[in-house]
Chains A and B, each alone.
Chain A
Amino acid sequence: MRIGDAKQSYGADEAIWTSQTQKLWFGLLLVILLVFPFMADSYLLYLGCLVGIAVISTTGLNILTGFTGLISLGQAGFMGVGAYTVAWLSLNTGLPFPVTLMLAGLMAAAVGILVGLPSLRVKGLYLAIATLAASVFLHFIFAEWESVTGGMGGLSLEPAHLFGWAFQSDFMMYFIIVPLSVLMVFAARNVFRTRIGRAFIAIRDRDISAEILGIDLLRYKLMSFALSSFYAGVAGGLFAYFFRVVTPESFPLSMSIFYLAAVIVGGMGNLLGGILGAAFMTLVPEALKLLTAALTPFYPNAPVFMSPMLEIIFGALIVGFLIFEPHGLAEIWHRIRRFFRLWPFRN
C-alpha cells in the first residue's frame, strides 16, 4: 500500500517522478538493461535489439494514433525512408551514425508532413487509407528509383561508426539501440507534459472542440505526423544499421499493420503500453519458433505449420485484445500493480 501521495502543486502532479520508489524501480530497470548484454547469449542480444527498434517505432506510432487519434498505415513506409536515408548517407558520405540517424529522422519527418497534409480534410479511416496510398507510393519509389535506392536489390551498408569505432556486432549495436530507445520514450513522455502534447490529446478527444478551444488543427496534426515519422525514421535507420541491408521488401504493408497491432495490443494512448506491445509482438513469433523447434523431434511436420500458425496467432491477438482487453497490456499491468498497491485491503 502506497501512502503519502498527496500532491500540493500542479508541477508535482505533472512530474515524471512522483515517488522515490518509482526512481528506484527505474534505476533497477536501467541496471538490468545495462547488465543484460553481458549476460545474454547472441540470440537474446539479437532479440533485445529487435525489441529496442520496435519500441522506438511503436512509440512513434503511439504518438500519432494513440495520442492524436490519427490512424496511420504508413509507419513501415516512414521507417523505409529513414532506412534508405541512412543507407544512402553511409554509402555516399561516410558520416558518423548520430548524424545519419538524425538526418534519417528529419527526412522521415519531412515525408510525414507531406503525407499528413490531407489530414485536415480527411480523417479517421479515410486518413488511414491516405497513409496506405502513401506507403504504396513509397514502396514504388524504393523499388524504382534505382540510382538512389538500388532498386529491388536494395542497398547494403557499412556498419555504423563513430570516432573510428565500427559497431559491427549485435553486442555493440545494443549500446546504440537501447539507450536511444530509452531516450526517445523519455522524450515522448515529456512531450505530453507540454502544450503541444496536450494539444494532441485534445485533438484526439474531439478535434472540432479542440479547434474551438483555439488549437490550430493543421499545425498540430502535422506536428504529430512529423514527430511520429521522426521516430519511425530513426527506428528505420537503426534497422538499416542492424541488418545492414535495405530492400523495398524490408518494409511491407504487413509491417505497418504489425506496429498498429503493437500499439493496440499494448494499449493505445499509453507509452508504457507501446513498450509492452512492441516487446510482446516481437517476442511472440520468437516464442513460437522455439516451440516449433522443440516440437520438431516429435512432429517432423511442425516447421511447415509454423508460418500459418503465426498468421493465426497474430490475427487472434488483435481480435482478442480488441474484444476482451481494449486497453491492452498496459491495463493488465495496471491491474497487477493495483493488486500489490491495495494488497492487504482488497480481499
Chain B
Amino acid sequence: MSEAALIGLFVATVQFGTLVFLAALGELISERAGVLNLGVEGMMAMGAVSGFMVGLETGSPWAAFFAAAAVGALVGGFHALVSVVLGADQVVSGLALTIGGLGLAAYVGRNVVGERPETQFTDLGIAGLADIRWFGEIFFDQPPVVYLTVGLGLAVWFVLARTRLGLALRAVGESAPTTDAVGHSVMALRSGAVMAGGAFAGAAGAFLSLYMAPGWTEGMVAGRGWIAVALVIFGAWRPGRLALGALLFGFTLALQPRLQSFDIELLGVEVSRISPALLGILPFVLTVVVLVIISWRYRHRPSPAPAALGLPYRREER
C-alpha cells in the first residue's frame, strides 16, 4: 500500500471524525440537559440540503454553513416545543423528526439533485505546518470547519465544566425539580440545549453537502446521524472522550470505502477481504458493549448518563 493511500486514509479519518463529532457534540449538549434527541439524522439531512441550497444561491460556503446551523436550530426548536414545552414523549418526537426531516429534506431538495456548487470550503494550508511530512497533510491542511469544530469542542467542554450556564445545564439533566427549585428555568435551559444541538447537527449536515460529498442526494446522510447518537454514549457523555471516539468512528467510516485497496494482513486476516459492511457495524456494536459496561461499572454509583435523560418535566407535577 502506498504512502499516499495511507495519508489519504488518515485525512479522511479526521474529516469523518469531524463530521460525527460535530453532530455528536450537539447531541451531547441536548442529552446533558436531559433531552434525548433521536432526530439527529433528520436534522443533518435538513442541514445538508439547506446548506447546499444556500451555497448555490450565495456562493459563500460560510453563509451556507451558518444557514444550515440556523435551520438545524429551528428543527431543534420544534423538538423542544413538542417534547420540552408540551412534554410529549422524547423518543416518539425524535423519531418522527427523523422521518419527517428526511422527507422534508428530500422534498425541498428535489430540484437541486445533481447540481454542483460553484464554491466550496477549501483546505487551509496552515503556513509552515502544512508542509510537515505526514502530519502536515493530516492535521494542518484541512478545511476550516475541522478547526472550527475543534474549537467548538473546547468551547462546549469549557461551558459545561467552567461556567454557571454549564452547571445549570448539567444539573437540569440530572434533576429538573432541583434545578427549578433554585430558580433556573427548566424550559429555557432544555429548549436552548436542544436548539443548540440542532444547530450543531445542521452544521454537520452542511459540512457533508458542502465539502465531504459536495452536492445533494436523498439519503446522503446515510446513518451518520445515528452514529452521532451512538458516539455520545460511546463517549460516556464527556466531550473529551467524545473526541477520541469520533476519531475511532471516523476511522471506521474512512476505512470502509478503502478496505479493498489495502494489501496487508492483520491478525492473520487479509484486510482487503473484510467486508466494508461488517466494518460498518463496529461503532454500533462497540456502543452497545460500552453501554453495558457502563451500567455494570456504575451499578453502585451514579452513572455518567444524565439521570433525567428522557424524562419530561412539568412544574405542576413537582
Tell me, yes or no, whether A binds B: no
